[in-house]
Structure 1
């Protein structure tokens, strides 16, 4: 039995008599834990939980007035505990003394509510934000006109089985979803795509994305995004030079790599806040993307509310994934003109 599966009971639940579970008194987490203990268990502050309840709690209210009905705030806590533990059922059962089918229903219902907030909290910068976003990136290593950094990260899943299962096995050998994100210099997520199998290349995900179409249309003016060498160089997507030949190109590479570092930091912070994204989830594949999106929304909510985890820098270190390098580096076509111009204008001194 997988401890990370929502489809099976934990050993604790199997051993606990049904009468005990039925009559158990649920823990009042707000009173039981101080602020630090609460954050450690639910990954956000008490105030942020109450904020979430104010946003969609009315839609979670139980239909009956039974004294065993689970209130909206507890449903949110159950879901947060799921994100925080990699879906260990016995931990959730210990705290709330509820049965697995109820946990299953609550997690998916609350996840859908949080994920539905995506359009409010995850958006590419508007023209009014361009200057502030670009200044944030410029302050890192003097790279101009940057509106975002893009990269992909793998979220572990169980083998889906069947004839198509191998498409989910990534080049590291485990099953995953390959998730693309764009962030700004403050680690705020600006774009997320969470539906591609682990074997799909980063550049394929980008080329198929609505974001690529927006950039092709010129929706962001002369602003650019930065990517690693797993992406093709474009007028709007600037990548490192694989084989530098001049001091200006070396300076460009140093600045480019430092300036896109926020996306690597983001993946570390996101997976430390919600360890289920690091450890993997034993859900059906169709149910995993909403959880990823919900965690991304919660990350941005936490940034806006300045809800920081004190231990974030010291636990669950994130290991940067090496990109699969694009085979073409230099060319004279228009895909490289913007990169060459920035090298000559800003890094040739």
Structure 2
């Protein structure tokens, strides 16, 4: 089973949220219900996008796509409509705050907010294959950045903070910076569109390990993307289909190769930045079970691509985001196949 297929399979078989995700509704005071606000009419376009990160048209279209996967109860007994379920989840992604606060936004308990975020995140994540896929027309966009030829995409990993899991597995999720995280692998194109996302590895996993165990590597090994390359940093092994920087460039051609690769590969860093600023839930500490943190990561990745497709401008975050100190990148000491890189430098970059 491929990594992306296994990710989607997890979403179909999700268990209930852990105790850390929700509080029981038992022994709580009776809630005072009031008419829920229709934010699509009470907020203007700018205010709506600020609060929910998508515009009204995108929310309407997304609601149609996920409706078959939502629990829909009648609203006569204060059930939450599909629209309000979606808006609650989007508000959670936009704030990354406590679920109780998000629940208050539409007048539901923390436990209900947990269930809604779980259901909506799973439903959006099931759209993965529709919105996140490897494209075939990426070369021209990358070439325009820094004249690097035949680029399929830029690859890297980013850490999403999580609360510390149980003691039995907690250390497995502690990364090189010392905090628990999920190490998320992604590939993007020159337009900052995500083309591949793997979000199921603990923070201690090295970038190269995640790549070596991925379906993406199998696809590249079998020539699915022809003679095109991925561009990675020094954490990745040098392969005929995966180019990395030279550690000590000497000649002019080697220096041009490194400069072009680094500038072209910067797309993935920018993609991570745009994604996390639009949806701060993946920039702050996720206080969810591992399965549901995974669903939220994939769901916000899908939403990132929807926003790019709709040309929605960046919306400044409403919450203060932590400074992102990159996790140290270990140098990959695998020898690799250098012939392809040497030929590219000799036949192309030496002639620029």
Q: Same fold (TM over 0.5)?
A: yes
Taking a change above 3 Å as real, the CA distance of residues 196 and 304 of structure 1, as seen in their structure-2 partners, is same
Q: How many residues align?
A: 329
Question: Alignment partner for residue 332 of structure 2, among 317, 323, 326?
Answer: 326
Shift of 1:252: 0.4
Counterpart for residue 236 of structure 2: 231
Question: Alignment partner for residue 116 of structure 1, among 100, 121, 126?
Answer: 126
Gaps of 5+ in 1: none
Q: Distance in 1 between matches of 2:320 and 2:104?
A: 24
User: 5 Å matches for 1:192-341?
Assistant: 192-311=197-316, 316=321, 318-328=324-334, 335-341=337-343
Shift of 1:57: 2.2
Counterpart for residue 141 of structure 1: 146
Structure 1 range deviating more: 273-282 or 64-73: 64-73
Task: Answer yes or no: is the 8 Å Cα contact 1:6–1:87 preserved in 2.
Answer: no
Task: Answer yes or no: is the 8 Å Cα contact 1:155–1:277 preserved in 2.
Answer: yes
> What TM-score, normalized to structure 2?
0.88
> What TM-score, normalized to structure 1?
0.89
Counterpart for residue 60 of structure 2: 50
Counterpart for residue 14 of structure 2: none
Q: Distance in 2 between matches of 1:216 and 1:74?
A: 45
The alignment partner of 1:52 has SS state of helix
- 1:97 aligned to 2:107? yes
User: 5 Å matches for 1:180-191?
Assistant: 180-191=185-196
Task: Answer yes or no: is the 8 Å Cα contact 2:162–2:182 preserved in 1.
Answer: yes
Taking a change above 3 Å as real, the CA distance of residues 19 and 294 of structure 1, as seen in their structure-2 partners, is closer
Shift of 1:105: 1.3
Counterpart for residue 177 of structure 1: 182
Shift of 1:136: 0.2
Q: Distance in 2 between matches of 1:348 and 1:28?
A: 62
Task: Answer yes or no: is the 8 Å Cα contact 1:44–1:309 preserved in 2.
Answer: no
Q: Distance in 2 between matches of 1:233 and 1:210?
A: 18
Counterpart for residue 30 of structure 2: 18
Q: Distance in 2 between matches of 1:180 and 1:204?
A: 10
Structure 1 range deviating more: 138-147 or 62-71: 62-71
Shift of 1:9: 8.3
Q: Distance in 1 between matches of 2:328 and 2:50?
A: 30
Shift of 1:46: 1.3
- 1:158 aligned to 2:163? yes
The alignment partner of 1:147 has SS state of strand
Q: Distance in 2 between matches of 1:54 and 1:138?
A: 37
The alignment partner of 1:56 has SS state of helix
Deviations 1:106-161 (A, max 9, x none): 11111111000011111112xxx33xx10000000000000100000001011112
Q: Distance in 2 between matches of 1:60 and 1:79?
A: 12
Counterpart for residue 94 of structure 2: 84
Deviations 1:192-219 (A, max 9, x none): 1000010010000000000001101111
Taking a change above 3 Å as real, the CA distance of residues 337 and 121 of structure 1, as seen in their structure-2 partners, is same
Structure 1 range deviating more: 54-63 or 135-144: 54-63
- 1:343 aligned to 2:342? no
Shift of 1:247: 1.2
The alignment partner of 1:348 has SS state of helix
Task: Answer yes or no: is the 8 Å Cα contact 1:180–1:205 preserved in 2.
Answer: yes
Task: Answer yes or no: is the 8 Å Cα contact 1:264–1:320 preserved in 2.
Answer: no
Deviations 1:299-345 (A, max 9, x none): 11111111222437x974655444211135xx6x7x11111111112
Shift of 1:243: 0.9
Deviations 1:227-271 (A, max 9, x none): 000101110000000011211111100000000010000010010
The alignment partner of 2:21 has SS state of coil
- 1:64 aligned to 2:74? yes
Task: Answer yes or no: is the 8 Å Cα contact 1:26–1:95 preserved in 2.
Answer: no
